[in-house]
Structure 1
Amino acid sequence: MKAVLALILALMLAVPATAEVRIQEVTSPKGIKAWLVEEHSIPFTALEIRFRGGTSLDAPDRRGSTYLMAALIEEGAGELDARTFARELEALAASFSYDSSDDSLSVSARFLTENRDEAADLLRLSLLQPRFDLEAVDRVRAQVLSGLRSDLKDPSAIAGRTFSTMAYGDHPYASDGKGTIESVQALTREDIVAAHKGALSLDRIYVSAVGDITAEELGNLLDHLLGDLPETGAPVPAKAQVQIDEGTTVVDYDTPQSVALFAQPGMERDDDDFFAAYLLNHILGGGSFESRLMHEVREKRGLTYGVYSYLVPKDLAAVYMGSVASANDRIAETVQVIRDEWAKMAKDGVTEEELRNAKTYLTGAYPLRFDGNGKIASIMVGMQMDNLPIDYIATRNDKVNAVTLEDINRVANELLQPEKLHFVVVGKPEGLKTTN
């Protein structure tokens, strides 16, 4: 059976990326909505389920409970212990995965048409009746704690924690969704059960499916799979009040290379100027070797192997971030070059050639994302969570191409805030010190 699934996966990935993605909205008899792309050439379906909220739902003294819960869902359900559940899943040649982030809990399922009903039964059991056996809780908790202890020695993780604490104050975003060593050690089975009840509910669900399934079949599957979930879950926190000011925070750490995160306030995903900001970021630091930061920091001066910037529009806060690493005796120069380029683009904007090249790259690369049922399903469920229209895939490149030079340079002046660009540097940086 594994060989059959491997063959089907190979065929699925061979579907041309340029094929038109025709999405239809499906409403189940019980009212559960989903987006569907029918693809009957392969007897296989990819199903993606998202629950808005994620680890931000954790109570302040229960940080890590949603993350641990998500890791435990597949550790047995109903009358099936962890080992039996895994054997049943393998026998069906199906795969389930469960994950959590700041803003969502995700469930991914892949199954053959011939085993669809049995796979749905098993997935339903995991969502509605996870066992959370104490043996499994202790084993998975130990794995999480091991990762958290490793993060204490990871300069990138240290920089991330330092930035989050500074930027988000007392909001859940301020601390790691995996929790702390102390909070995870203190979690009880009752905390995990409560996290499950709070995170999986019908009022925050988004679903997409791609593959060998009709709209009627998907509607019936959704009601069977999800219809008995609670109507409501734990309340989603309020928006974070992002606090980022110009300056530098140095965290002393014994390493030959300093790691830096830099950030300023960002832009919400639903902002009318988001596509201009997206193109702007590609030109500044998101376009790998074609970006200004890479050219100035790496190519011209050899200060780093890589420097990147990226828009981070979370559900409850938006920031504009970047990352770089450089030798301790060169990180101060690296920071200054980035600051200079940030200010230069804010003042002078981009050129017509830069805009044209960015459009060519971003519109040309976009169809390559749709190279398999699973990726298409994941993109579609993300579109729903971002409140994008159902025809977004067909119109996205038009929106990119519609951005004018006047648009992008106005946004450069409005979005880029050199006076609020803050660097968190972890290492032994020469010539840098905390300035706030």
Structure 2
Amino acid sequence: MTRRQAALLRQAQIQNAIAQSRRKKARAIALAPSNKLSAPRLLMLTLLTSLLIMLSWGYARATEIQRVVSDKGIEAWLVEDSTVPIIAIDFSFTGGSAQDADGKAGTAAMLSSLLDEGAADMDSQAFQTALEDNAIKLSFDAGRDRFYGSLRTLTPNKDIAFDLLAKSLQAPHFDANPIERMRAQWIVSAKRKLTDPDAIASRAMRDALFEGHPYGRDTNGTEASLARITRDDLVAMHKNVMTRDGLTIGVVGAIDAESLKAMLDKVFAPLPESGTLQPVDDVEISKTGEFHVDFATPQTKISFAMPGIKRHDDDFFAAYLVNHILGGGSFSSRLYEEIREKRGLAYGVYSYLTDYDHAQMLAGGMGTRTENADQALMLVKQEIQRLGNEGPTEEELASAKKFLIGNYPLRFDSSSKISRQLVGIQNEKLGIDYFDKRNSYIEGVTLDDAKRAAKRLLDPSKMLIVTVGQQIKHADATPDKPAVSASASVAAPTAANDNEPKAKVGVN
């Protein structure tokens, strides 16, 4: 990392640390159980957070990655720094919600919330107390293609932390009471989504793009699917997903390679070598048209998607820059300029590239008042058409490069981000030297490359569009007063409707 990048990082960290503190405080208030955290617990968590911030400043100076392989063959990538006594570990297994059985969407999500609810010789209360008393932060999460875990601990408590992690992965209880408690929480979340326009739009988009495919399921499940999940389903998913053959690990902090090797063998070596994963077919993003979900709200949620690009495609970084220019660059993007700045039709509009293991797409969206929805959507199509036909300008490309290169140090402004990045670049098979090479990939994109990628990606005729809100009609279209597009209309989902209406930190 260069001195300039380090300076940018240190400057950004002050603001970022303040923002992180506010977000964590809000989240703690929202999620805290009725019994308040003890004063010692709060003190230790405050210390842990402070040390994580201090530790990140050290990585502004160096992010040398060591490839560590334990005696039993478990591999991890390590960024070692003993500036402060903190260790951050992230890991992932192949197999996420795409492995949920038909009719049992949410199995992986439920599994993620149960691994720390009792394991080995500890019941749920004992396990949670051990985490709290030692200021250990342990969490799990299910993505579409992978299952993720995270551990944060003070170095003096590492033996306890590693022991708890080993127990949670190797011998979770799946006791009846925690299962029902977590099921109830996931069902509450599923019910809330039924009245959330963003969730309704996402659901309708999934149904249209991935009908009959595992990606079409709700990662967190529906009320009906969650009710069907049994203990046997959880045990089976644990057995098939928590295996060494699909494991990637990133470690950051005050631990040396030899100590890490011992931890890897203690925690991960006892896991099965492999499991039985259901094959997942590749999906071509090919469905087009417009679908409307009637929903009583003064705002209309607009979502769109079209075919994307694979991560290892030669045009990927050109496409990455083109997306930034279109809608990924927030305040500097074409969509923001046309829709927000010039006309005030929406507070925000965005686009992004998604690369699942078995599907790639360029997607985006915005929220706008219902009477402005058709005008805003017409402008989105126009800008996609224009950028696709003409490509970006030299100035736009240079500005996008400057932003994406200058902003890159923010990917390393906390130890947690670094450990997640280590896992991400392994999962994407980008190479251990990716951090050093990434900016050169951005810089190497020519204007011809960007124009070729824009022409390849951006075509309004390939768009699938979902709108959620009240349907209205307008007069004939002009560029600033478009007509309503012909579209299919479907009903908003209800609690009784398990089958929704049929209408991933990146490391880039």
CA contact (8 A) 1:166 1:244 kept: no
The whole-number CA distance in structure 1 between the counterparts of 2:170 and 2:51 is: 33
Q: What residue is the counterpart of 1:323 in the other structure? A: 365
Shift of 1:433: 5.7
| Matches for 1:137-286 after TM superposition, within 5 Å | 137-286=179-328
Q: What residue is the counterpart of 1:31 in the other structure? A: 73
CA contact (8 A) 1:166 1:243 kept: no
The counterpart of 2:53, out of the listed 7, 10, 13, is: 13
One-letter amino acid of the structure 2 residue matched with residue 12 of structure 1? L
* Partner SS, residue 347 of structure 2: coil
Shift of 1:155: 1.1
Q: What residue is the counterpart of 1:398 in the other structure? A: 440
Shift of 1:133: 1.0
Structure 1 unaligned spans of 5+: none
CA contact (8 A) 1:171 1:240 kept: no
CA contact (8 A) 1:73 1:130 kept: yes
Q: What residue is the counterpart of 1:417 in the other structure? A: 459
One-letter amino acid of the structure 2 residue matched with residue 66 of structure 1? A
* Partner SS, residue 305 of structure 2: strand
Is 1:96 the counterpart of 2:138? The answer is yes
CA contact (8 A) 2:89 2:249 kept: yes
One-letter amino acid of the structure 2 residue matched with residue 318 of structure 1? Q
The whole-number CA distance in structure 2 between the counterparts of 1:5 and 1:304 is: 39
The whole-number CA distance in structure 2 between the counterparts of 1:233 and 1:297 is: 49
The counterpart of 2:93, out of the listed 43, 46, 51, is: 51
Shift of 1:242: 2.9
Is 1:112 the counterpart of 2:164? The answer is no
Shift of 1:62: 2.2
CA contact (8 A) 1:331 1:430 kept: no
CA contact (8 A) 2:48 2:135 kept: no
The counterpart of 2:392, out of the listed 343, 347, 350, is: 350
Query: Which stretch shifts more, 371-380 or 331-340?
Result: 371-380
Is 1:435 the counterpart of 2:475? The answer is no
One-letter amino acid of the structure 1 residue matched with residue 49 of structure 2? L
Shift of 1:319: 0.9
Deviations 1:158-199 (A, max 9, x none): 111111111112111011011221111111111111121122
* Partner SS, residue 70 of structure 1: helix
Deviations 1:66-90 (A, max 9, x none): 1111111111112212111111112
Structure 2 unaligned spans of 5+: 1-39, 474-483, 489-508
The whole-number CA distance in structure 1 between the counterparts of 2:124 and 2:230 is: 19
Q: 1:236 to 1:415 in 2, by over 3 A?
A: farther
The whole-number CA distance in structure 2 between the counterparts of 1:363 and 1:385 is: 22
What TM-score does the superposition give when structure 2 sets the normalisation length?
A: 0.84
CA contact (8 A) 1:294 1:307 kept: yes
Over aligned residues, Cα RMSD in angstroms? 1.4
The whole-number CA distance in structure 2 between the counterparts of 1:136 and 1:246 is: 43
Q: What residue is the counterpart of 2:481 in the other structure? A: none
One-letter amino acid of the structure 2 residue matched with residue 385 of structure 1? N
Count of aligned pairs between the two proteins:
436
Q: What residue is the counterpart of 1:388 in the other structure? A: 430
One-letter amino acid of the structure 1 residue matched with residue 97 of structure 2? T
* Partner SS, residue 117 of structure 2: coil
CA contact (8 A) 2:285 2:360 kept: no
Q: What residue is the counterpart of 1:301 in the other structure? A: 343
Q: What residue is the counterpart of 2:382 in the other structure? A: 340
Is 1:373 the counterpart of 2:415? The answer is yes
One-letter amino acid of the structure 2 residue matched with residue 90 of structure 1? E
Q: What residue is the counterpart of 1:40 in the other structure? A: 82
The whole-number CA distance in structure 1 between the counterparts of 2:48 and 2:238 is: 33
* Partner SS, residue 49 of structure 2: helix
Shift of 1:99: 0.8
CA contact (8 A) 2:106 2:219 kept: yes
